[in-house]
Amino acid sequence: MKKFYLVCLTILSFGLNAEVSPERMSQIDSSVDAMSMNELRDRRSYLIKEQSMLLETQSSTQNPSTVKSSSSRLAEIRAELSAIQKALIGIVGIAAISSLSDDGYNDNVPPVITVNGSNPATVELGATYSDAGATAFDEYHGSTSVSSSSNVDTSAVGSYTVTYTATDLDGNSATASRTVNVVDTTAPVVTLTGDNPVTVELGATYTDAGATATDASGTVEVVTTGTVDTDTVGEYTLTYTSTDASGNVSESVTRTVNVTDTVSPVFTSSSTFTVDENITDIGNVTVTELDTVTFTIGATTSPALQAGTKSVLQITSSGALSFSTAPDYDLQVTDVQLYTDGETEASGFGPDAFGTVTKRTRTLSGYNSGATMDFTATVTATDASGNAATQDITVQVRDVGGVDDDASTGTGTGTGTGTGTSTGTSSLQTPENFLITAPVFTSSDTFVVDENVEYIGVVTATVDAGAGVTEITYKVGPTTGPATLEGEPGRVTSIIQITAGGTLAFNMAPDYDLQLPDAYEVQRTGTNDFVNQSTLNCNTYLDNFTCERTKFETLGGYENGATMDFTTTVTATTTQGVASTQDITVQVRDVGGVDDDASTGTGTGTGTGTGTGTATNTAGGDTGPFGGTVIND
């Protein structure tokens, strides 16, 4: 068989050489003759690979030019392979032939594996890996199948290997490998939890809702940077990031936290300040507020003054309260009238030669009662966020030293250290602050009685027991009453009079029916010509009637119950000459209508007044209808 192969090889070489020019064959022979045995074997392997590639090209193209050029080169390769075979025979003789297999190839040469694509290859963590594979070419057998094995795990970052194996027909095997690197180049994704932006009240506790992050590598931590100061109004930013095990840093996600102040200040200082006169500083207004507060003040309401400049309340932005001008207690308008005292008393102002007690001066009741001189204004506290609160404040100014501003004699609570004795009850003996409290009326200013009755009631008043008053006497001024009919024989208008002890009565019982008419009677006329000549009321059980006004005048009070009103002013005077007045009204009700018949009139009864006092005759005057002394101005 091998001898046959040698003969065929010789014959083939002549056929191959026929396609190659003698010059080219000469070059090939010269080149082959210069090669060593190893070079011959390497050259032979190279030419076989090239031959296989050209054959594959010819089978996949129809381009005449490509086919022609590849055919020419294939002829040269065959010629050179033939020359190499002859050279090998010439070197080793028949041994070279015996080393060839029956298929004509050297079975000691393994296939050559070519790895397709990138090596090493890179795949993203969590992605699907598709291997590009490999091809194998055997020097003697051409294209050879390739098998592979792999441990690539794309769920875990790491370096993995794909191994390729190819075995030719003679059992020669070759291996190759590809390195596959599973990498993580994708950053985590951060997602906020909760609202954005967030608003929190100044001074409150802020609890952040945080954020979450997802990553192909699994659980990753979220890092928060930034702070929120809930004690300071402002806008704050919190930043959230996450870094995975491969060092990939997420994009920053932010949350805006707005610390706001919507709560108004709360006043903690008193609404009332008490200071002495002739001092400007008052005190400090304070509030509870976490932010900066500015104070302002409105217009000042102050007592009336006899003279001088009014003191105005003012305040600094930080809350220091003061007067623009120190207030002088003694400049207030007086509210008490003083009278001469007894001839032998300490004031030295006794009655005149005719025994008349007269007014001598006016003074302030506060010298004796300790009443303060009050100033009021509204303070507004506004924080930096514009929240405002108001407080109405009162500044009570105390007297120091009385009229003479001598702290040793005044009624104020200042720190004077004088040793004067004009305090307490002795103040009643000094002309500077002689004071008797005025009477206070305790009876009603309205009395209701029936017509044709003289007695009205009793006026009462009281005085503080400590003022030294032993008795109160009463007088009454002119009476104002309704207009009455003229020409009534012996009839005059009723006048209110009072006893010294306070008993009120008419000098003549009033007659309701003598008032000037203010309405007209109406009559009812119907099918039976029934007429009611004494009523303003057209109500009836009859049908088919009309109401017509007549020419007869009457009083509306007969129908609506209006009273006949008398007014006057009562004066109550103490034994010390201090007086008070009260305007009173006496309402006289109708009894019995026009005919004064109580069974048919519109009156509501025969009231007898409300007074029960007894008169005390302490001065001259007319005798009233119920005894006692009647004193009219």
The answer to whether the beta carbons of residues 393 and 299 sit under 8 Å apart is no
Cα 337 to Cα 577: distance, rounded to the nearest angstrom? 9
- What type of residue sits at position 240? Y
Side-chain-side CA neighbours of residue 377 (13 Å):
21
Radius of gyration of the chain (CA): 66
**In contact, 357 and 340? CB cutoff 8 Å:** yes
Give me the pLDDT at residue 536, please: 39
Q: What is the structure's pLDDT at 92?
A: 64
The answer to whether the peptide bond before residue 510 is cis (omega within 30 degrees of 0) is no
The class of domain 112-183 in CATH terms is: mainly beta
Q: How far does the chain reach from its first CA to its final CA, in angstroms?
A: 177
Token code pair at residue 615: 């008169």
- Does the fold of domain 440-518+555-630 match that of domain 189-260? yes
Q: How far is C-alpha 193 from the chain's CA centre? A: 25
CB of 125 within 8 A of CB of 186?
Answer: yes
Q: Domain residues of the chain, as ranges?
A: 2-98, 112-183, 189-260, 266-429, 440-518+555-630
pLDDT in tens, 385-414: 999 999 999 999 999 987 666 555 444 433
Quick one: CATH architecture of 440-518+555-630? Sandwich (2.60)
Helix (H) / strand (E) element for 48: namely: helix 37-59
Q: How far is CA 462 from the centre of its chain?
A: 55
Q: Please report, for residues 454, 516, 532, 608, the alpha-carbon distance to residue 513 in angstroms, rounded to integers and kept in the order given.
A: 16, 8, 20, 19
CA distance 87 to 502: 170
What does 191-247 look like in DSSP terms, one character per residue?
A: EE-S-SSEEEETTSPP----EEEE-TTS---EEEE----TTS-EEEEEEEEEB-TT-
Contact 478, 568 (CB under 8 A): yes
Mean pLDDT by 10 residues, the chain (633 residues): 42 50 89 87 87 82 80 87 83 53 59 93 95 90 91 94 92 93 95 96 95 94 96 96 95 96 94 95 93 94 85 96 94 77 54 59 80 96 94 95 62 40 34 56 93 94 70 93 67 87 94 80 52 47 58 73 93 86 94 64 38 33 38 51
Q: Into which CATH architecture does domain 189-260 fall? A: Sandwich (2.60)
pLDDT of the residue at 70: 83
Angular region, 7: left φ>0, alpha ψ -120 to 50, beta rest: alpha
Contact 429, 309 (CB under 8 A): no
CATH number for 266-429 (one of 3.40.50.11540, 2.40.110.10, 2.60.40.60, 1.20.1050.10): it is 2.60.40.60
CA distance 286 to 308: 32
- The one-letter amino acid at 555: L
Q: Are 631 and 624 in contact (CB under 8 A)?
A: no
pLDDT recorded at residue 51: 87
3-state secondary structure of 39: helix
Q: Decide: 9 and 82 in contact? Cβ < 8 Å.
A: yes
